[in-house]
Structure 1
Amino acid sequence: MIATTRHLADGREIVYFDSVPTPREAVDPRDLPPVATRSQVRWDPLLGEWVVIAAHRQTRTFLPPADQCPLCASTPARATEVPEADYEVAVFENRFPSLSTEVDRDVPAHAEGNPLVALRPGEGRCEVIVFTSNHDRSFADLGAERARLVVDAWAHRTEALSALPGVEQVFLFENHGEEIGVTLAHPHGQVYAYPFLAPRVQKILGQVATYEGDLFADVLAAERSGPRVVAANEHWTAFVPAAARWPYELQLFPHRRVPDVATLTDAERDAFVEVYLDVLGRFAHRFDEPMNYISSWNQAPVHAGREQWWLHLQLFSFQRAPGKLKYLAGSESGMGAFVSDTSPEGAADALRAVVVP
């Protein structure tokens, strides 16, 4: 993998990832104002969680037609977020970031009228990772070589963002499908560098701390020998968790404890691509139309709790049946108590039975 760093017209960083040496000298010709954000993080004293307030994102690009896609390669007639005429994988700072290293730091100590709600600047970083210059492809049909390049880009960005001051967690994810809330159809994912630990990570670390034994290892060992395994190889197992919340949900675990994508060996990265493309193909062909999904890397905190963590990926879909979605209604949205419309064992059976062309 060759990583080449350049800058866009407004000073944002863009990194090209290539499998072979490729000149990357195109210049962004656009006249862009500097990116400015007044994001804040606010402490919820009842839940003990940080909430990001990013009102400026209301004006971000929303489902443009294909010929106006900002993630396609640039042409002489139209400059995009990627100045080159073609590329393999590209990562750049989000033009409409929830968190930023250039955030306005002049914020009061607490929310107006409520001293229990502490305020901090929304310092961090948000990046877009574009998997291919081909607008009409998806991750499921990238092929092993390109998918492996994406894994290497994930590892590169995890290391780079983990080194930024104030970053506590690096989150890699992909939203796929309009039902999920995707605002750009071009195949891409995102990288968030949080200035706090996300609630899910905090809760898991709490469970790990109180468990008598090795919680991650015991969960993985039990699921590898159980009825919910969908795909596996020497280094990875993909299974439907026994207490799955979503209609179709998988967890992909490496067989060796590692904290994040950057610490995976070459063999483990290759093996991940094999299993991941397998299960994405099953999601794409479970119904007549490909399922929407969220792919969510659960990486270790940058600092505290890192040694206890076990890297894993969640892949889940809101699709419960053809034309039917799982909505987060009263119990889920109001109380955080999930009610599943499918059985984990039935979902595993259905995914194993999928024949991928």
Structure 2
Amino acid sequence: MTRTPARMADGRELFYFDDPATAESIGERVPPADTRDLPTVQTGSTMRYDVLTGEWVTVAAHRMDRTFLPPADHCPLCPTRPGREPSEIPAAEYDVVVFENRFPSFARSPSVEVPPEVDGNPLWPQRPAVGRCEVVCFTSDHDAAFAHLPTERVLTVLDAWADRTAELSAMPGIEQVFPFENRGLEIGVTLQHPHGQIYAYPFVTPRTSQLLTQASEHRRRTGRDLLQDVLDSERAAGTRVVLDGTRWTAFVPAAARWPVEAHLVPHRAVPDFAALDDEERAELAELYPDLLRRLERFFDTADGPDTLSVDPRPPYIAGWHQAPVRTGRDLTRLHLQLFSLRRAPGKLKYLAGSESGVGAWIVDTTPERIAQRLRDAAR
């Protein structure tokens, strides 16, 4: 993998990540200029503290006007080629590209000044949402999907995630880096080109905070690592294991919440992508797409092809949880949480009163059945 930095017309950073074969064939990449006349990005995101939950809520009103499902010939993530208007990526061809989001929820220099408290009341602290949001384009092919990328390209994406994790973690004020992919209209995706995002948060997110609390209590009580104990127990039981490699295991968690959910966990306690060794990356580049392909076939194995959805491939969220930059790095490790909102062909799992209102989850199937169907979806 080779990395080439560039600048966009409005000053945002952009990085080209080339597969080894591409780098060998083209030599040194010379990034073309971004010829668009773009105004400076204006962000007004703020964070308000919810005293009832102890969580920060980000208010990003400027995102209301972001690009929404443009036609393919106006896709801002496709390469800039003759006969079409310039996109966010000036090059006519690329392998993997990462750039600063034009409509970020968090920014390094928010264009807003806010008083330290809402209504001058110390009950509600607030501050600018200082962080960073990046877009990761997995391929220049508009109609591709991560599950079907060649292994060489998956390795380039992994290298890009590692590169960005290390660089974002070194930025002042960043507490957690979260790479993720939202896929499918039902998830709320606004651009259909295969891409993901990376959020660099100025706080430790609620789910991670909960995990650190549980892991800390487990260590105090047993002296052991919670995620290691979970991994060892899932592998020993075997009933929920989907893929068991030399360095990674994919399993459906014993208390899975979603209609389809799987975790992909490294056997070694590595905090983030930057800490993976070559062997771990090589196996991950094989197992991760395999897991995604099983998810694509999940609903075909028992219910027949999904012909009712606007997109036959199931919607999913693939979130790569990494250890926080400073807090509790010895209590957790890098791991994937992959889940889908679809519970049956053409039917979604809605978070109704119990889940949305009080956070008490009720699921319609068993984790063991989910795991068996994912195993059956091998091909």
1:303-353 alpha-carbon deviations (Å, 9 max, x no partner): 021122221110000111111110111111111111111110000011111
Distance in 2 (CA, whole Å) between partners of 1:197 and 1:217 is: 21
The alignment partner of 1:339 has SS state of: coil
Paired positions, count: 356
Pairing 1:311–2:334 present: yes
Distance in 2 (CA, whole Å) between partners of 1:345 and 1:73 is: 43
Distance in 2 (CA, whole Å) between partners of 1:122 and 1:295 is: 24
Pairing 1:6–2:29 present: no
Q: Structure 1 regions of 5+ residues with no counterpart?
A: none
1:6-65 alpha-carbon deviations (Å, 9 max, x no partner): 000000000000023342321100000000111111110110001111000000000111
Which of 251, 262, 266 is 2:263 aligned to? Answer: 251
Distance in 1 (CA, whole Å) between partners of 2:377 and 2:365 is: 17
Distance in 2 (CA, whole Å) between partners of 1:114 and 1:210 is: 34
Deviation at 1:75, TM superposition (A): 1.4
Which of 27, 34, 41 is 1:28 aligned to? Answer: 34
Residue of structure 1 in register with 2:308 after alignment = none
Residue of structure 2 in register with 1:160 after alignment = 167
1:165-244 alignment runs, 5 A limit: 165-211=172-218, 212=221, 213-226=224-237, 227-244=239-256
- In structure 2, what residue type is equivalent to 1:192? Y
CA contact (8 A) 2:45 2:112 kept: no
Pairing 1:324–2:347 present: yes
Deviation at 1:273, TM superposition (A): 1.4
Larger deviation, residues 206-215 vs 161-170? 206-215
- In structure 1, what residue type is equivalent to 2:346? G
Deviation at 1:355, TM superposition (A): 3.8
Residue of structure 1 in register with 2:104 after alignment = 97
Residue of structure 2 in register with 1:71 after alignment = 77
Deviation at 1:113, TM superposition (A): 5.7
Pairing 1:277–2:289 present: yes
Which of 66, 78, 83 is 1:60 aligned to? Answer: 66
CA contact (8 A) 1:296 1:315 kept: yes
Residue of structure 2 in register with 1:294 after alignment = 317
Deviation at 1:104, TM superposition (A): 2.9
Work out the percentage of aligned pairs sharing the same amino acid. Answer: 56
- In structure 1, what residue type is equivalent to 2:158? V
Larger deviation, residues 12-21 vs 126-135? 12-21
Larger deviation, residues 280-289 vs 253-262? 280-289
RMSD (CA atoms): 1.0
Distance in 2 (CA, whole Å) between partners of 1:291 and 1:24 is: 38
Deviation at 1:114, TM superposition (A): 3.8
Residue of structure 2 in register with 1:352 after alignment = 375
- In structure 2, what residue type is equivalent to 1:253? V
Task: Give the 3 Å change call, closer, same or farther, for CA 107–24 of structure 1 in structure 2.
Answer: same
Which of 107, 122, 129 is 2:114 aligned to? Answer: 107
Distance in 2 (CA, whole Å) between partners of 1:36 and 1:101 is: 11
- In structure 2, what residue type is equivalent to 1:97? P
Q: TM-score, normalized by length of structure 1?
A: 0.98
Larger deviation, residues 304-313 vs 187-196? 304-313
CA contact (8 A) 1:245 1:338 kept: yes
Q: TM-score, normalized by length of structure 2?
A: 0.92
Distance in 2 (CA, whole Å) between partners of 1:112 and 1:229 is: 52
Residue of structure 1 in register with 2:278 after alignment = 266
Task: Give the 3 Å change call, closer, same or farther, for CA 317–59 of structure 1 in structure 2.
Answer: same
- In structure 1, what residue type is equivalent to 2:313? P
Deviation at 1:264, TM superposition (A): 0.4
Distance in 1 (CA, whole Å) between partners of 2:54 and 2:233 is: 32
Deviation at 1:240, TM superposition (A): 0.2
Q: Structure 2 regions of 5+ residues with no counterpart?
A: 300-304, 306-311
- In structure 1, what residue type is equivalent to 2:212? L
1:95-133 alpha-carbon deviations (Å, 9 max, x no partner): 000000021352101112643111111100000000000
Which of 118, 129, 135 is 1:122 aligned to? Answer: 129
Deviation at 1:177, TM superposition (A): 0.5
Structure 1 residue ranges (4+ consecutive) displaced by more than 3 angstroms after TM superposition: none
1:220-277 alpha-carbon deviations (Å, 9 max, x no partner): 1001122000012100000000000000000000000010011000110111111111
The alignment partner of 2:361 has SS state of: coil
CA contact (8 A) 2:43 2:112 kept: no
